[in-house]
Amino acid sequence: MPTLQAPGLGLGPSLPTPPPLPSPPLLDQLLFESPFLLAGPLAALAVVALFTYNARADLKRGLQAAGALLGSAVAAWVVSTFVVTPRETIRAQTRAVINAVARADVTALDPLLTNDIEIRYTGFDSPSKPALLARISDVMGERGQYHLASWRIAELQASIDGPAVARSQVLVRATHEATGLPASAWVVLIWKRQPDQTWRCSAVRPIDVR
């Protein structure tokens, strides 16, 4: 994820891994989120079918079977390209939030947050969204106490918990600019679907920060 990484990244302290979020439905994962899990075996079966029928001196049937299997593999891949699942949207939005906070880019961050956004972490507690954005700009900016030299997402999960509620769980590793010391944080982000069908983060809940 190059947009979330800068040079000179420290690995950061090792943190216990929290319980994973629920896995997506198998059909969604195979067809939309990880198409190679379906397309790969189908392509392999196409090769097997071609060699098997060829060994039986029935190349025509082998080509037909291989063509059907390859067509199915391509179709699965194409479908996954054009369909974006809510989980994939949440993952992308989570990356955008992490990137915006790390860069103190409050202009990019603003539309990703609900107006009643809540962050449960000392130093970021704010009475309002404008106050929170100002605080992030202050402490994460170039002269801020939490300004980062580098950062990356080490792990990222997402779960759709209801028609309008979702969660993401992310492990961020970073290096402080001033001290050069590495840091790591497991964080949960709560997401709410808005009337315009976009997803916005309504709460940020750190699990472990070191």
Domain ranges of the chain: 2-15+85-209, 26-82
pLDDT in tens, 41-88: 767 776 776 778 767 777 777 777 777 767 766 666 666 666 678 898
pLDDT at position 130 over 90: yes
Helix, strand, coil in percent for the chain, rounding step 5:
45, 25, 30
Residues linked to residue 150 through DSSP beta bridges, in sequence order: 175
Report the chain's C-alpha Rg in angstroms: 22
As its CATH architecture, domain 2-15+85-209 has Roll (3.10)
Residue 7 · residue 150 · CB < 8 Å: yes
pTM of the model: 0.75
pLDDT in tens, 75-119: 666 666 666 788 989 999 999 999 999 999 999 999 999 999 998
**Position 35: which residue type?**
P
**pLDDT at position 65:** 75
